[in-house]
Amino acid sequence: MEHQPSNFIRSIIKEDLETGKRDQVITRFPPEPNGYLHIGHAKSIVINFGLADDFNGKTNLRFDDTNPLKEDQEYVDSIKEDVQWLGYEWDELRYASDYFEEMYERAVLLIKKGKAYVDDLTPEEMREYRGTLTEPGKESPYRSRSVEENLDLFDRMRKGEFENGSKVLRAKIDMASPNLNLRDPALYRVSHATHHNTGDKWCIYPMYDYAHPLEDAIEGITHSLCTTEFEDHRPLYNWVVEECEMEHQPQQIEFGRLNITNTVMSKRKLKQLVDESYVDGWDDPRLPTVSGLRRKGYTPEAIRAFVQEAGVSKGSGVVDEAMLEHFVREDLKMKAPRTMGVLKPLKVVITNYPEGETEWLDAEINPENPEMGMRQIPFSREIYIEQEDFMENPPKKYFRLFPGNEVRLKHAYFIKCEEVIKNEEGEVVEIRCTYDPETKSGSGFTGRKVKGTLHWVDATHALPAEFRLYEPLIRDEDQKAEEAEDKTFLDYVNKNSLEVVQGFIEPNMKDVQSHDKFQFFRHGYFNVDPKHTTAEKAVFNRTVSLKSSFKL
């Protein structure tokens, strides 16, 4: 796998190894199975697995499944699939729920040490007692319960004697700490819920701040890498490891989240778009989910290269989506066969070409990768070209077809526009052209030059196909422009984010399979959609357009 450029985390690990602070590297990717992975997770995956790989270490995939209310087996399955698809193999597959018994025992230890207590405050009261950003909190009246009483109460919490929300186990730290995370954080809550892994065995579940450090310590994680919003939690992380008397002391290091322009990148928002049917599932090609990018036609290689090039730092920036697009073009350039497809067809009749005759032309599959070989494409009297490749009254520097102009048909002949046929509404419905047999592609003809080369498809042999063209789901500039108070990101969903058009493709595309990738000449890279494609008609998702400096 590719090596990553250096970054501050790599420097820390290197130094830890050199100074002997650590003798190996063990990382983990710890998703909560409450949604599908997005490209921000891909960043974390690349960092965790990539760093471990580079230092001959190990990486566990660990599901942080401490909240059964939000989690589901569907998500664990999709996460495993996505991690593997991205090209990584975990060393061990673990679940936080594997450690519930040990976590419970460590909590008992905390109680015995006088470092934790059972609190009867309601959630509302707890919030009031917590204080604010600028004012210290005050201690709960239950804070000074005896060890015996706490032990008894905690045992009864586990046994299910109390209702949801009625009691919590809290760490006894400092209600006046300027770091709110240290104002006696909750360690366990009562939640009578069925867990996707442990069923009904438990009715108390550990909180993230308590569970995560223990999970890391149990697994011998050396470097626990997470995003910067957990920076404030680090003192608590260390407190838990120390007070629970864990043998192994992992080090938490935080890096900045990945953000990309013109999209949303939070599981909450993505779930909302899915649940409220703004998109057709977690794998909708407009979403920055790993499965959505996959369906759109992104490759693991492109995603990895993008993440690595975007870098790792503590800053919170927004990467231009153009950068993501660059890396998929780069990867597909040599891999994807090139073919011709007409998305919005306009019929062209070549008046001096014999009726009923078809000739087969040779065409390279990928001129930049000759090993991919040749294909044959039919040519006859009637073809389709792209509607936008003809203008009756073109502006200057329009290289395409217009009355009297001659252009090349890719892999075929020069044609010259002789006549325009319109319907009653005055719309152009057909073009009549003549062709010059001497200009056949590959013949070495140099008599005349043309400025434009058009793609086309033979009308009688063409296969119908559907093309799905995407625009950003949400445009940053739309959101910024309006700046309204009572609006949510849902009010800015781009109504034109999906355009479906019916066109034609070459007959040799008859047997395309889901996820086959092609470059349609002058249009961009496309992926055969796995959900909508049928035996009768292929459906192509546009992964990304080609760059173009053309503007009308």
Partner RNA sequence: UGGGCUAUAGCCAAGCGGUAAGGCAGCGGAUUUUGAUUCCGUCAUGCGAAGGUUCGAAUCCUUCUAGCCCAGCCA
219 near RNA, rule: CB under 7 A: no
Give, for 60, the enclosing helix (H) or strand (E): strand 58-63
The pair of three-digit structure tokens given for residue 321, joined into one six-digit string = 């989506």
- Does 209 bind RNA (CB under 7 A)? Our answer is yes
Alpha-carbon distance values, 102 to 44, 214, 240 (Å): 27, 9, 13
The question of whether 451 is a catalytic residue gets the answer: no
Pairing of strands 168-171, 186-190: antiparallel
Residue burial 479-500, b: 16+ Cβ < 10 Å; e: rest? eeeeeeeeeeeeebbeeebbee
- Which of 28, 32, 167, 325 is the catalytic position? 32
Closest CB to RNA among 259 and 514?
Answer: 259
Residue closer to RNA, measured from CB, 315 or 354: 315
Q: Least separation, in Å, of the C-beta of 86 and RNA?
A: 19
Of 209 and 283, nearer to RNA (C-beta) is 209
Of 231-239, 286-294, 371-379, 532-540, which part binds RNA (CB under 7 A)? 231-239
The CB-of-227 to RNA minimum distance in angstroms stands at 8
Q: What is the rounded distance in angstroms from the CA atom of residue 44 to the CA atom of residue 66? A: 20
Nearer to RNA, 44 or 541 (CB): 44
Contact with RNA (CB under 7 A) among 195, 223, 400, 468: 400
Strands 345-350 and 382-386: antiparallel
Q: Does 403 bind RNA (CB under 7 A)?
A: no
Nearest Cα to 61, choosing from 35, 112, 27? 27
Structure-token pair, residue 506: 């070459």
230 binds RNA (CB under 7 A): yes
How far is the CA of 165 from the CAs of 97, 115, 194, 414, in angstroms?
A: 21, 21, 16, 78
CA distances 366 to 96, 340, 372, 519, Å, are 49, 12, 6, 9
Applying the rule CB under 7 A, the residues between 436 and 455 that interact with RNA are: 440-443, 452-453, 455
Q: Across the beta sheet with 204-206, what order do the strands follow? A: 116-119, 168-171, 186-190, 204-206
207 lines the binding site for RNA (CB under 7 A): yes
- Select from 112, 113, 127, 537 the one that contacts RNA (CB under 7 A): 127
Joined together, the tokens standing for residue 79 give 């996460």
Q: Least CB distance from residue 423 to RNA, whole Å?
A: 25
What are the residues whose beta carbons fall under 8 Å from the beta carbon of 362, sequence distance 6 or more? 374, 375, 376, 411, 442
Which residues from 349-388 bind RNA, rule CB under 7 A? 366-368
Of 24, 73, 84, 132, the one binding RNA (CB under 7 A) is 132
| Binding residues for RNA, total number by CB under 7 A | 92
Q: How far apart are CA 268 and CA 476, in angstroms?
A: 18
Smallest separation, CB 59 to RNA (Å): 17
- Other CB atoms within 10 A of residue 362 CB: 11
Chain-centre distance of CA 259, in angstroms? 11
Q: Between the CA atoms of 212, 217, 223 and 226, what dihedral angle is there, to the nearest 10 degrees?
A: 0
The least distance separating RNA from the CB of residue 148, rounded to whole angstroms, comes to 22
Contact letters (x/-) for RNA, 474-513, by CB under 7 A? Answer: ----------------------------------------
Tell which positions 266-295 bind RNA, by CB under 7 A: none
**Which parts of 365-515 are beta strand (E)?**
374-380, 382-386, 406-409, 414-422, 428-436, 453-454, 456-458, 463-470, 498-505
DSSP letter at 232 equals G
Residue 313 near RNA by CB under 7 A: yes
Scanning 64-72, 100-108, 479-487, 530-538 for contacts with RNA by CB under 7 A, the matching segment is 64-72
Binding letters toward RNA, positions 16-55, x by CB under 7 A: --------------x-x-----------------------
In the residue annotation, 257 being an active-site residue is answered as yes
DSSP three-state, residue 542? strand
By C-beta, is 202 or 205 nearer to RNA? 205
**CA atoms of 92 and 80, how far apart (whole Å):** 12
3-class DSSP assignment, residue 178:
coil
Q: Kindly tell me which residue out of 45, 61, 83, 121 binds RNA, with binding defined by CB under 7 A.
A: 121
Query: Binding to RNA by residue 194, rule CB under 7 A?
Result: no
The one catalytic residue in 58, 158, 234, 267 is 267
Candidates 1, 8, 144, 477: give the one binding RNA (CB under 7 A).
Answer: 8
Distances (CA, A) of 482 to 107, 385, 479, 491: 50, 40, 6, 11
For 534, residues 6+ apart whose C-beta sits below 8 A from its C-beta are none
Options 80, 257, 410, 416, the catalytic residue = 257
Binding mask 153-192 for RNA (x = CB under 7 A): -----------xxxxx---------xxxx---xx--xxx-
- 113 carries an active-site annotation: no
The residue within the footprint of RNA, chosen from 196, 335, 461, 522 (CB under 7 A), is: 522
Stretch of 13-21, 98-106, 226-234, 429-437 lying at the interface with RNA (CB under 7 A)? 226-234
Residue span binding RNA (CB under 7 A) among the ranges 46-54, 80-88, 227-235, 491-499: 227-235
Of 284 and 324, which has the nearer Cβ to RNA? Answer: 324
Judged by beta carbon, residue 179 or residue 502, the one nearer RNA is 179
Q: Which residues are catalytic?
A: 32, 257, 267
